Amino acid sequence: MSRPRLLQIGALTPGLDVKLPTLYDITVLPAGEERKAFLAAHGASFEGVATHVRHTLAAEVIDALPNAKVIANFGVGYDLIDVAAAKRRGMQLSNTPDVLTDCVADIAFGLLIDVARGISTTDRFVRAGGWKKGQRPLMTRVSGKRLGIIGLGMIGKAIAKRGGGFDMDVRYHGRRAQPASPHRFEASLLELARWSDFLVVSCVGGPETKHMVSADVINALGPEGFLINIARGSVVDEAALVAALTEKRLGGAALDVFENEPNVPEAMLAMDNVVMLSHIAGFTRESRAAMEQLVCDNLAAFFSTGKVLTPV
């Protein structure tokens, strides 16, 4: 019995790159000038697509796959996938939510504590011998402060739970209020920013949320406020953020994501009130294994029942 034929968009993960070819007939989409000719010659032979959150899956590729009915995406975000084109073609799109919730929430709170208490900068200070000459300036307490969360999905709820462990007052902003939530809903993002000591971005990316954290929101957070982003770089107006940090209109920022990854704004590199990570919030052995398994489970469910387990 022949195995379903899948088109793979670039490298996925070491585990999936090994496992998927044992389950399916896998072909990796060529890059560059070969791509268009390859799709014209072979596009109709594929029944599905496997891709990674960091790869672009444009309409021109989707439209060249007339018999593909499923896209299995490794990652929670799907802003680099042309969802409208996939829906137009009647394709099911799956992602890998929930299984990395705790790991991402851990990083969010780690970043929050780091930027408030200066853990990373003090580590560099000690390593450079600065302690022998004096002490670092006083920093900001975390416990008992006001925590604002943009996007109270699974990750947002997990961040709020961690905030409760630090006796923080928690409020949130999103597309709609959640009546079951014990936390107060703020319909205005500007008002949430004005209220917050720490504002954590945990919403989805994509056109609808692009630059949602605008210059006005950053200014509302103010010179004693901190911005933490573990969502998508596109949600924050990065130029406005750099300007606010440079002009000391914002207390600090802790970022796992950027608008033009892996490039980060040059001005931030010398700022002691900025903590930067390389988009690693979900990068643990445990979450990686669970996400890989969910990609396989989504594909298996589709080819056996016609429906993915975690549709977008």
Query: Is 211 a residue of the active site?
Result: no
Q: CA–CA distance from 61 to each of 8, 39, 58, 147, 149 (Å)?
A: 11, 7, 6, 42, 36
Query: Is 232 a residue of the active site?
Result: yes
The residue from 34, 224, 261, 286 that is catalytic is 261
For every residue of 140-188, DSSP letters joined together read ---TT-EEEEE--SHHHHHHHHHHHHTT-EEEEE-SS--TT-SSEE-S-
Q: Which residue has the tokens 């969502």?
A: 231
CA distance linking residue 49 with residue 9, whole number of Å: 7
Encoded tokens for 289: 């294994």
Query: Is 208 a residue of the active site?
Result: no
Handedness of CA 265, 268, 274, 276 (dihedral sign): positive
3-state class of 56 per DSSP? Answer: coil
The residue from 173, 232, 259, 292 that is catalytic is 232
Buried b or exposed e, range 191-230, using 16+ CB within 10 angstroms = ebbbbbbbbbbbbbbbeebeebbbeebbbbbbeebbbbbb
CA distance linking residue 10 with residue 75, whole number of Å: 14
Q: How many helices (H) and strands (E) does the chain have?
A: 11, 12
The residue from 35, 42, 194, 279 that is catalytic is 279
**Other Cβ atoms within 10 Å of 52 Cβ, number:** 18
CA distance linking residue 306 with residue 35, whole number of Å: 29
Q: CA–CA distance from 208 to each of 93, 199, 223, 234, 255 (Å)?
A: 18, 19, 28, 10, 20
Active site residues: 232, 261, 279
